[in-house]
Amino acid sequence: MSESLEFNLLEDETRECPFKYFEAIRHLDKPVYFMPELGAYYVSRYEDVRYIKKHPEIFSNDIYKHGSQRGGTSRNIAEEFKNENGWARVSTLQRTDPPVHTKYRGLINDAFSVARIRNMTNYIETVVNDLIDKFIEEGKCDFMWDFSVPLPCTVIADQLGVPREKIWQLKQWSDAMLAPGGGFTDEAQALECAKQVVEAQQFFAEVLGERKHEPKDDIISDLAHAKLKDDPDGPERELDMFELQDLLDQLLTGGNETTTNAIGSGLMLLLQRPELMDRMRSDQKLIRNFIEESLRYETPVLHLWRVAAEDTELGGIPIPKGSSIAVGYASANRDEAVFDDSETFDIERKKAGAHLAFGSGPHHCPGAALARQEMYSAFTIFLHRLDNIRTVDRNEPFKHVPSSFLRGLSNLHLDFDVRQRDRYFPNASVY
């Protein structure tokens, strides 16, 4: 075990601003820290994170196969209810290693390719303008719930093939899928989350059945008709409902939650530095690097999980087989050995794009291109159409949704002036 630090990621003060904690871990003589509140070894430095990503044979994504005991009462209650009343969790994308991961990843790569996202530029700009039109005349909004939440929710609903009137239901289901793993739900809340997840599964099962007989141009149709091989020389087969449900779970949560958080955090950083808004308006080239720097500085997913597939060592700390490992992306993105003056937010940073907010290697986030385009269109159009953007509360505390691994604002109440009422279509691809 490593030495003890006077922080706790599950306590409000640290959870609201965990970066001093991560900095303290990086500055330990042995910067892999056993974090007792998570029951996991926290990997804090950039190169150690990269090493883990390159060696899935040692640091496996398959936490179930290798016996990780990570969970907790609330999470276990949610899983048990889902197992009994819906479709039990199986391992497809997130909890597998190559070559198993590769066969599932191939099913969705085309849907999120850079070429396809580039062709979606006008469509995404339309969604952005539609949302701004709904509140621009009022001179105020809750940025999170009027813009940052519905933008990616609308886009992922359209891509999946779910009617737009369901976007708030999708958001509720997505939150229910993630909350029990965040460490801040009691048993009653976890059970309610599980009921919501089963409701989502039943909805998706019905839509999958419809698309099986009448396919449309959407991801659910693609998955309903997809075939894969369990062995390169074996026969093709269709996906079963357990696999389909797990894939849709990950596409839904990954397609909206992290982008919502990234957009909200990006505007928070601008509100704390209002002089940057005019700089970005006058030089839109800065917006691209602003996006990368905001992802580095306010990483929307603090960490994800691995399990030690064998007895190993990292950063001078022995890690027994079966141990849970938290891969600290947010900490790695502020590693002083990689990013000069790493605790400073700099939209002209030369290496901002070297961040690990989307992971790296085989598990690099499949929706990274879509997230970047949504952020780019959002800030390009938002700054063009609105002026004097400010928080309603001059002492805005920027409170975050309680979670041990996600970082997103709960609300962001704004006042603003109208800069341009007309819809704005710069046809600006981030790629």
Give residue 347's pLDDT. 97
- Examine the domain organization and report whether 124 and 200 are in the same domain: yes
We report the CATH number of the domain holding residue 46 as 3.30.43.20
- Examine the domain organization and report whether 135 and 270 are in the same domain: yes
If you search the block for the tokens 């886009």, which residue do you land on?
Answer: 155
Residue 316 CB neighbour total at 10 angstroms = 11
Q: Which two tokens stand for residue 242?
A: 């357990």
- Examine the domain organization and report whether 317 and 371 are in the same domain: no
**Peptide bond before residue 99 is cis, with ω within 30 degrees of 0:** yes
427 part of a folded domain: no
Bridge-based pairing of strands 324-328 and 40-43 is parallel
- Examine the domain organization and report whether 398 and 329 are in the same domain: no
Q: Is the pTM of this model over 0.85?
A: yes
Q: In whole angstroms, what is the distance from residue 387 CA to residue 376 CA?
A: 18
184 part of a folded domain: yes
34 part of a folded domain: yes
Domain span at residue 133? 73-300+360-418
8 Å CB contact between 279 and 286: yes
149 part of a folded domain: yes
Boundary-marking domain end, from 322, 341, 356 = 356
Residue 41 CA neighbour count, 13 Å, CB half: 29
Give residue 366's pLDDT. 92
- Examine the domain organization and report whether 381 and 289 are in the same domain: yes
Report the amino acid identity of residue 203: F
- Examine the domain organization and report whether 114 and 172 are in the same domain: yes
Give residue 4's pLDDT. 82
23 part of a folded domain: yes
We report the CATH number of the domain holding residue 95 as 1.10.630.10
8 Å CB contact between 219 and 251: yes
Give residue 1's pLDDT. 52
- Examine the domain organization and report whether 293 and 349 are in the same domain: no
If you search the block for the tokens 């998955």, which residue do you land on?
Answer: 223
Q: Tell me phi and psi for residue 400, to 5 degrees.
A: -105, 155
8 Å CB contact between 131 and 150: yes
- Examine the domain organization and report whether 309 and 235 are in the same domain: no
66 part of a folded domain: no
- Examine the domain organization and report whether 223 and 345 are in the same domain: no
Boundary-marking domain end, from 356, 378, 401 = 356
- Examine the domain organization and report whether 349 and 400 are in the same domain: no
425 part of a folded domain: no
237 part of a folded domain: yes
Give residue 71's pLDDT. 55
The structural domain count of the chain equals: 2
pLDDT along the chain (431 residues), means of 10: 83 96 96 95 97 94 71 78 93 91 93 95 98 98 98 97 96 95 91 96 98 96 95 93 97 94 98 97 96 98 96 96 96 98 97 94 91 98 98 97 96 98 97 92
- Examine the domain organization and report whether 94 and 117 are in the same domain: yes
- Examine the domain organization and report whether 119 and 177 are in the same domain: yes
Q: Which two tokens stand for residue 221?
A: 């149709």
8 Å CB contact between 111 and 250: no
Boundary-marking domain end, from 312, 334, 356 = 356
